[in-house]
């Protein structure tokens, strides 16, 4: 028997809509990208066309930005972490962060600041990005993870020389612990969600993520395409909001429609939209989901206004949606590229394919998905948990039917 448990909720925009913040605009993306281009090993990640998925989804074109190949780190997170750390250290050194390259920054940090400690909480990918940045700088990193973290993600972070501490709490409590340890020890907190008095670094992280959108726009122009729809994953919402901000600025006259996707056990943006009071709302509990990178119960307050005002629909997705997407990406047909996608990276493919089923016809119409639509997806991570990847893609774990 088929199961259909994806829940949708329309956006609840305030009018006038919140202004796009400076750190998400195309001009800010240009600054972040100039910095990333100076990092060793930088090259734009590929944009793949998936004609088979387009046919199944009954749309014109589907293109996928494959962030699993970013700096050989298996995820997009390094774009935000590296840029935010550069801006943070430049601030400490009283230098213009946009004018520094990574080599100069590493040298000046050691010379003027000596040994520093960067600390963060993570579900995996962000922590590895911070650990990588600290390793490149010759500095120390301490990374807190929530309970149940996959051994492969722990090992990947530790592989960059970081001290890894697995807590007995969920992600949001791990964030609070990291912040408390930073304050107590004089460490530098590098977190991607804001709280009052801590907004610069989360904003810089979001600015770093705009490199994804800037590259995508260039690559789509080469193909003669412009997105009509963009499907975006949301954990704390920083990636999704950064992309919304960029594309609203780049295509202001005809912006794409945005669909924001979350795991059903950690769907804080879906819940916030459903409350219809314009305020962010948190989800509690252990936030258990195979989409570990999206297992966040509290919206980033910098991200919420943007997503509230510019998102067409929020989707609360059971784990089988991500598993379906992993199999779709890993088994293309009709000339498409094979994409190795982790659970958080694949949810967009799964949802787009499901929207072609009769059960979701009403939402397909609300979203305006047609044979002329051009849909942009982001594969935000590769197989960061190889054991679960094999269980899902080879063994059929989390099937579409029960």
26-84: pLDDT as tens digits: 999 999 999 999 898 999 999 999 999 999 999 999 999 999 999 999 999 999 999 99
**Mean per-residue pLDDT for 115-123?**
93
pTM of the model: 0.95
**Mean per-residue pLDDT for 304-327?**
97
Average pLDDT score over the chain = 94
The residues annotated with a catalytic role in the active site are: 77, 123
Given a cut of 90, is residue 365 above it in pLDDT? Answer: yes
Domains and CATH numbers, the chain: 7-75+208-393 (3.40.50.1100), 78-201 (3.40.50.1100)
Q: 277-300 pLDDT, tens per residue?
A: 999 999 988 899 999 999 999 999
Quick one: three-class SS letters along the chain? CECCCCEEEECCCCCCCCCCCHHHCHHHHHHHHHHHHCCCCCCCCCEEECHHHHHHHCCCEEEEEEHHHHHHCCECCHHHHHHHHHHHHHHHCCCCHHHCCHHHHHHHHHHHCCCCEEEEECCCHHHHHHHHHHHHHCCEEEEEECCCCCHHHHHHHHCCCCEEEECCCCHHHHHHHHHHHHHHHCCEECCCCCECCECHHHHHHHHHHHHHHHHHHHHHHHCCCCCCEEEEECCCCHHHHHHHHHHHHHCCCCCCEEEEEEEHHHCHHHHHHHHCCCCCCCCCCCCCCCCHHHCCCCCCCCCHHHHHHHEEEEEEECHHHHHHHHHHHHCCCCCCCCCCCCHHHHHHHHHHHHCCCHHHHHHHHHHCCCCCCEEEEEECECCCCHHHHHHHHCCCCCCCEC
């Amino acid at each position: 028997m088929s199961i259909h448990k994806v829940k949708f909720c329309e956006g609840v925009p305030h009018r006038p809509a919140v202004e796009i913040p400076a750190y998400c605009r195309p001009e800010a993306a240009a600054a972040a990208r100039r910095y990333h281009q100076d990092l060793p090993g930088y090259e734009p990640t590929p944009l793949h066309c998936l004609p088979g998925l387009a046919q199944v989804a009954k749309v014109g074109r589907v293109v996928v930005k494959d962030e699993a190949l970013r700096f050989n780190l298996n995820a997009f997170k390094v774009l935000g972490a590296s840029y935010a750390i550069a801006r943070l250290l430049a601030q400490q050194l009283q230098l213009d962060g946009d004018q520094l390259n990574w080599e100069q920054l590493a040298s000046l940090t050691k010379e003027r600041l000596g040994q520093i400690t960067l600390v963060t909480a993570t579900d995996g990918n962000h922590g590895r990005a911070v650990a990588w940045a600290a390793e490149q700088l010759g500095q120390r990193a301490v990374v807190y993870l929530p309970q149940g973290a996959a051994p492969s993600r722990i090992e990947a972070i530790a592989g960059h020389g970081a001290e890894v501490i697995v807590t007995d709490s969920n992600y949001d409590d791990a964030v609070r612990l990291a912040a408390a340890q930073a304050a107590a020890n004089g460490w530098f907190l590098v977190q991607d969600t804001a709280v009052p008095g801590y907004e610069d670094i989360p904003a810089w992280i979001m600015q770093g993520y705009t490199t994804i959108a800037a590259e995508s726009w260039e690559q789509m122009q080469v193909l003669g395409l412009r997105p009509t729809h963009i499907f975006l994953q949301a954990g704390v919402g920083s990636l999704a909001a950064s992309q919304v901000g960029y594309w609203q600025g780049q295509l202001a006259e005809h912006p794409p429609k945005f669909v924001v996707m979350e795991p059903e056990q950690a769907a804080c943006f879906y819940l916030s939209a459903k409350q219809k009071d314009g305020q962010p709302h948190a989800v509690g509990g252990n936030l258990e989901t195979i989409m570990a990178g999206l297992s966040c119960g509290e919206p980033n307050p910098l991200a919420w206004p943007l997503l509230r005002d510019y998102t067409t629909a929020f989707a609360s997705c059971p784990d089988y949606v991500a598993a379906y997407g992993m199999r779709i990406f890993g088994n293309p047909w009709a000339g498409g590229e094979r994409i190795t996608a982790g659970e958080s990276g694949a949810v967009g493919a799964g949802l787009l394919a499901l929207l072609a089923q009769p059960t979701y016809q009403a939402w397909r119409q609300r979203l305006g998905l047609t044979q002329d639509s051009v849909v942009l997806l982001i594969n935000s991570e590769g197989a960061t948990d190889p054991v679960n990847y094999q269980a899902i893609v080879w063994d059929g774990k989390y099937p579409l039917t029960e």
